[in-house]
């Protein structure tokens, strides 16, 4: 399932924006049992906000619809970045760019 979404995002215009990699790392951080629950809830809320098409600026609006999502994701990533470990980034890269897991 994750490989399918990796290919979809990599081939879309969204892959040029760096926040897709950040969202993938957040997903793996949420799946990690060592991550505190309050952090998981915060990251899950951001992931839902980005995926859900109805938000502050609707995603159907070109460019601006994704800019608010990118801003929210970047802000939460900045707040919670200490919980995203190197292994989460490696898994996100493996998902998006078909790299071998080390």
Question: What is the pTM assigned to this prediction?
Answer: 0.62
The answer to which of 11-15, 36-40, 47-51 has the lowest mean pLDDT is 11-15
Q: What distances in angstroms separate CA 10 from CA 6, 27, 36, 76, one per listed residue?
A: 6, 16, 30, 22
More confident site: 99 or 25? 25
């Amino acid at each position: 399932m994750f490989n399918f979404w990796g290919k979809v995002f990599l081939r879309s215009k969204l892959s040029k924006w760096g926040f897709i990699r950040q969202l993938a790392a957040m997903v793996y951080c949420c799946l990690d049992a060592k991550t505190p629950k309050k952090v998981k809830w915060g990251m899950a809320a951001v992931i839902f906000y980005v995926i859900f098409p109805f938000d502050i600026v609707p995603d159907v609006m070109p460019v601006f619809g994704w800019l608010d999502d990118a801003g929210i994701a970047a802000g939460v990533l900045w707040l919670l970045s200490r919980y995203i470990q190197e292994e989460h980034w490696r898994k996100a890269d493996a998902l998006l760019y078909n790299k071998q897991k080390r």
